[in-house]
Chains A and B, each alone.
Chain A
Amino acid sequence: MLYLSIKKTLQIVFGLSIVALAFTVQAGTTTADHSKFVELKGPFESGPAVTKACLQCHTEAAKQVHQTKHWTWQFKNEETGQLLGKRNVVNNFCISTQSNIGACSSCHVGYGWKDDSFDFTSEPNVDCLVCHDQTGLYDKKKLREGKVSNLAKIAKKVGETSRTSCGTCHFKGGGGKAVKHGDLDPSFDAPDKFVDVHMDADGLNFTCSTCHTTDAHMVTGSRYAAAAKDTTGQDYPGKKGDISRATCVSCHDDQVHENQKLNDHIDKVACQTCHIPHFARGDYPSKMWWDWSTAGKMGEDGKPISVLDEAGNEIYNSKKGDFTWEQDVVPAYRWFNGTVQYTLPTDKFDPTTIVEVNKFLGSADDGKSLIWPIKLMKGKQPYDTELNTFITPHTTGKDGYWKTFDWPSAMEKGMAKAGLPYSGKFGFIETEMSWPIAHMVAPANEALACKDCHSKDGRLAEIKDIYIPGRDNNDWLDKAGFILLALTLAGVGVHALIRVFSRRQQKQGGV
């Protein structure tokens, strides 16, 4: 009897475990097996053909994508009134997309953007696979060259985005691995806990979209309109108005430390400042300096050259000029209220200074700013020496600088294509550009310690408009205080000497 009941219990436990296991496996997968869809049977002769198939069920998907920056490459900043986005801004990497769009659009979520004739209302032109491929086989470059392969295979396996699918473009921004951001590089395909505590492939295994939550294809957490200081606190189901989890506070709230004094810092210091002590913490150095002014030197054979350093990083390329690379870089620090002011190609600047390609706005006392870590990208890039504006050179294509090595022509063509006024006279000017650092969150024991900022010449040396104990002091008071202390010590010293001396005299006199 007893034996039977134990056996029965074991059976029940075993049975339940199987059911539980089935549910566990089920969790995180989808209710639809795309490989069973007749629409995706293929074969597909082109990218848009796949998209058409997708749209048969996902009827609104393309319209949604059309609304996003991933599609428009355009963003109107209501704070500054500036029209931004990849189509409009200049940077100090490859400089500008305007005349080079045929090449730059290799990272556009669409098919066929080669020039102004591109139809931004076309639904089949949306590239679903570049984000939703799960096989790793999708090769947009080959597809653009007209080589079609594996499309049906890829289409049958589509699913949620992954670190790798986002990384196809975002880990290689600026034309190569780790070039642009400093805190995003292919280390994130399978990072360990040291590189990022949340994305740790053997741990929490976050994907990009775990934080960059998405609604109707609109991805949250853009640096064009950054949530520099999340004052809305922790997010939870039912909370209105904030679907973005792209801030630390979204999950951790702003009172996360046991030590209240650390929590107190949150009114002035972004989490990232202490918890991302360095950027380029993964396997790749990031580009820190790009000097276009030295481009065009040829090898002895008269052909373009590429020079590598000992570590294999390219430090010179005839097409692009000189570079420097750094790993484990100490960020620069700036007040940041989320608004970025760009120097657009239409904006004049003072050529006697280092020009800020963009500027993080904010201050100690606007109530909206925190001290943020940034990658400060520096370099030299072309500008109009008469008009004191940036030039958007034409570098790509058959008539671009990378083929012709003819600067005057590249400047002329680029400006004409962008419809910008150009005097015909150009030079190179030193610039710097700020990139917010928000990824590569280190394990807690790697975070900054108090003394990293609370010391003379600490990390926040450039943040001058707040009083930092241990760094700042009133020089007059310190001088006066220590002089008085020295005088007092001398005074009691003299008093003591006279006492000793006079006592000895009295004793001698007494004897």
Chain B
Amino acid sequence: MTNTTIKRVYIFKGFERFWHWAQALLIMVMAVTGFEIHGTYSWLGFQTADYWHITCAWTLIGLWVFAIFWHLTTGEWRHYIPTTDKLMDVVRYYSMGIFKGEHHPYKPTQVRKHNPLQLLAYLGFKLAMAPLIWVTGMLYMFYNDWAAFGISGLDLELVATLHTLGAFLLLLFLVVHIYLITTGHTVFAHMKAMITGWDEQEEEVKEEDAS
């Protein structure tokens, strides 16, 4: 017979948690205002939506400057070095094992806080989606200064379309991300970890050891 105990590991540091939740809020406000600017619906009004979209964009740019600095100076960037180790195990877990009550094949540690699948998703977010939406967003914002920046051969429609593409990718990311945080050993376990910094990990223990 086996049983489980809970082990607590400090995974997410203070700045990281702040960065995560601030970014989450900003991205969600930008999604809501962005799709209004896009013309998908009318709620706040174009002017208000535009104001908050731009304000949040600049705030998030500021936040990212700090985050990049933090990652580089603390060496935290190493968490995002991709790996295929245990990748297929994680894929198998989410597609089958999770339904059979199996335990997650990967245990986050302070050295490796993300599982390999999660890591790839975040890397994709940081290296593909974010740059796409940032670059197109900045071009969009500084549309009138393209000539001064020496940019030619672009048109607003292309930039706007790519920006919208980035927005859809982020939206899909957000849906899956929010769903996957419910897949901890309890529904709110992962969320709690990102709030307190402490990850609660289930550990299998032999009954005789436990007694």
Chain A residues in contact with chain B, CB under 8 A? Answer: 261, 264, 267, 449-451, 454-456, 466-467, 469-474, 477-478, 480-481, 484-485, 488-489, 492, 495-496, 498-499, 502-503, 506
B37: chain A residues at CB < 8 Å are: 454, 469-470
A498 to chain B: which residues have CB within 8 Å? Answer: 99
**How far, in whole Å, are A237 and B208 apart by their CA atoms in the complex?**
99
Nearest A residue (CB) for B156: A467
**List of 8 A-B pairs having minimum Cβ-Cβ separation, nearest first:** A481-B168, A492-B179, A467-B157, A502-B99, A450-B46, A264-B144, A451-B46, A450-B47
- A503 to B157 Cα, complex, angstroms: 49
Q: A470-B46, A488-B172 are in contact. Are A477 and B165 (CB under 8 A)?
A: yes
| 13 contacts across the A-B interface (CB closer than 8 A) | A450-B46, A456-B39, A467-B160, A473-B39, A473-B160, A474-B157, A474-B164, A477-B165, A485-B168, A489-B175, A492-B175, A496-B179, A506-B100
How would residues 152 to 175 of chain B score, 1 for a CB under 8 Å from any chain A CB and 0 otherwise?
000111001100110110011001
Q: With A and B bound together, what is the CA distance between A474 and B144 in angstroms? A: 22
Contact of A469 with B168 at beta-carbon distance under 8 Å, contacts A267-B144, A502-B101 already known: no
| Contact present for A469 and B179 (CB under 8 Å) | no
- List residues of chain A with CB within 8 A of the CB of B40: 478
B94's nearest neighbour on chain A, judged by CB, is A495
> Nearest Cβ distance between residue B179 and chain A, in whole angstroms?
4
Is B143's CB under 8 angstroms from A264's CB? Answer: yes
**Residue B16 lies at the interface, judged by CB distance under 8 Å to chain A:** no
In the complex, which residues of chain B have a beta carbon less than 8 angstroms from the beta carbon of A481? 164-165, 167-168, 171
A459 to chain B, nearest CB (A): 13
The answer for the CA separation of A377 and B144 in the assembled complex, in Å, is 34
Q: Contacts A466-B156, A470-B37, A495-B179 hold; do A484 and B168 have CB atoms under 8 A apart?
A: yes
**B59 an interface residue at 8 Å Cβ cutoff?**
no
A450 CA to B38 CA, complexed, in Å: 13
Q: With contacts A477-B161, A484-B168 known, what are 13 further pairs, Cβ within 8 A?
A: A261-B54, A451-B42, A451-B46, A456-B39, A472-B157, A472-B160, A474-B161, A481-B171, A484-B172, A488-B172, A488-B175, A499-B183, A502-B99
Determine if A485 and B175 form an interchain contact, defined as CB atoms under 8 angstroms apart: yes
Interface SS of chain A:
helix
Collect the chain A residues with CB atoms within 8 Å of residue B155's CB: 467
As a 0/1 sequence over residues 18 to 41 of chain B, the CB contacts with chain A under 8 angstroms (1 = contact) are 000000000000000000011110
Chain A residue numbers with a CB within 8 Å of B182 are 496
Task: Check A450–B50 contact: CB distance below 8 A.
Answer: yes
Residues on B with beta carbons closer than 8 Å to the beta carbon of A488: 172, 175-176
A484 neighbours in B (Cβ, 8 Å): 168, 172
Query: B98 in the interface, Cβ–Cβ < 8 Å?
Result: yes
Q: State whether B160 touches A485 (Cβ < 8 A).
A: no
CB-defined contacts of B38 to chain A, threshold 8 Å: 469-470, 473
Map CB proximity to A onto B37-59 as digits: 1 under 8 Å, 0 otherwise: 11110100111001000100000
For residue A454, give the distance in angstroms from its CB to the closest CB of chain B. 5
Tally the A-B contacts, defined by beta carbons under 8 Å.
85
Q: Which residues of A contact B179 (CB under 8 A)?
A: 492, 495-496
Which residues on the B side are within 8 Å of A455 (C-beta)?
39, 42, 46
Tell me whether B176 and A492 are in contact (CB under 8 A): yes
**Nearest CB to that of A498 among chain B residues?**
B99
Q: Which residues of A contact B39 (CB under 8 A)?
A: 454-456, 469-473
Closest to A365 in B: B155
Question: Which B residues are CB-close (under 8 A) to A469?
Answer: 37-39, 160
- Nearest-CB residue, chain B, relative to A493: B179
Residue of B nearest to A449 (CB): B47
**B141 to A: closest C-beta gap in Å:** 9
Bound CA span A503–B99, Å: 7
* CB pair A261 B168 closer than 8 Å: no
Query: Which residues of chain A are within 8 angstroms of B156 by Cβ–Cβ distance?
Result: 466-467
Complex Cα–Cα for A451 and B101 (A): 53
Closest B-chain residue to A469, C-beta based?
Answer: B37
The residue in chain B whose Cβ has the minimal distance to the Cβ of A452 is B46
- Chain A residues positioned under 8 Å from B165 (CB to CB): 477, 481
* Shortest Cβ distance from residue A470 to the other chain B in the assembled complex, whole angstroms: 5
Evaluate whether A477 and B99 lie within 8 angstroms (CB atoms) in the complex, with A261-B50, A485-B171 already known.
no
Query: Chain B residues with Cβ under 8 A from A489's Cβ?
Result: 175
Contact with A along B106-135 (1 / 0, CB 8 A): 000000000000000000000000000000
Closest to B171 in A: A485
Q: Which of B42, B143, B172, B183 contacts A485 (CB 8 A)?
A: B172
Distance between A468 CB and nearest chain B CB, rounded to angstroms:
9
Q: Nearest chain-B residue to A261 (Cβ)?
A: B50
Q: How far is the CA of A454 from the CA of B39 in the complex (A)?
A: 8
- Which chain A residues lie closer than 8 Å to B160 at the CB level? 467, 469, 472-473
Option from A261, A473, A496 in Cβ contact (under 8 Å) with B164 = A473
| Distance to closest chain B CB from A464 (angstroms) | 12
Q: Give the residues in chain A near B47, CB-CB below 8 Å.
A: 449-451
- The residue of chain A having its C-beta at the shortest distance from the C-beta of B36 within the complex is A470
**Of B46, B164, B171, the contact of A454 (CB 8 Å cutoff):** B46
A449 to B50, CA, bound (A): 12
Residues of B within 8 A of A503 (CB): 101
Please measure, in the bound complex, the distance between the C-alpha atom of A496 and the C-alpha atom of B47, giving whole angstroms.
Answer: 39
Chain B positions within 8 Å of A499 at CB level: 98-99, 183
Instruction: Please report the C-alpha to C-alpha distance between residue A488 and residue B175 in the assembled complex, in whole angstroms.
Output: 7
- Kindly state the separation between the CA atoms of A498 and B96 in the bound complex, as whole angstroms: 10
Q: State the CA gap A41–B167 with chains docked (Å).
A: 81
**Nearest-CB distance from A483 to chain B (Å)?**
10
In this complex, what residue of B is CB-closest to A472? B157
Q: Do the beta carbons of A451 and B164 come within 8 Å of each other?
A: no
Asked, given contacts A449-B47, A451-B46, whether A502 binds B100 with beta carbons under 8 Å apart, the answer is yes
CB pair A477–B164 under 8 Å, yes or no, is yes
What distance in Å separates the Cβ of B209 from its nearest Cβ neighbour in chain A?
22
Q: With A474-B164, A485-B175 in contact, is A451–B45 under 8 Å at CB?
A: yes
Q: A220–B175 Cα gap in the complex (Å)? A: 61
Interchain CA distance A470-B172 in the complex, whole Å:
22
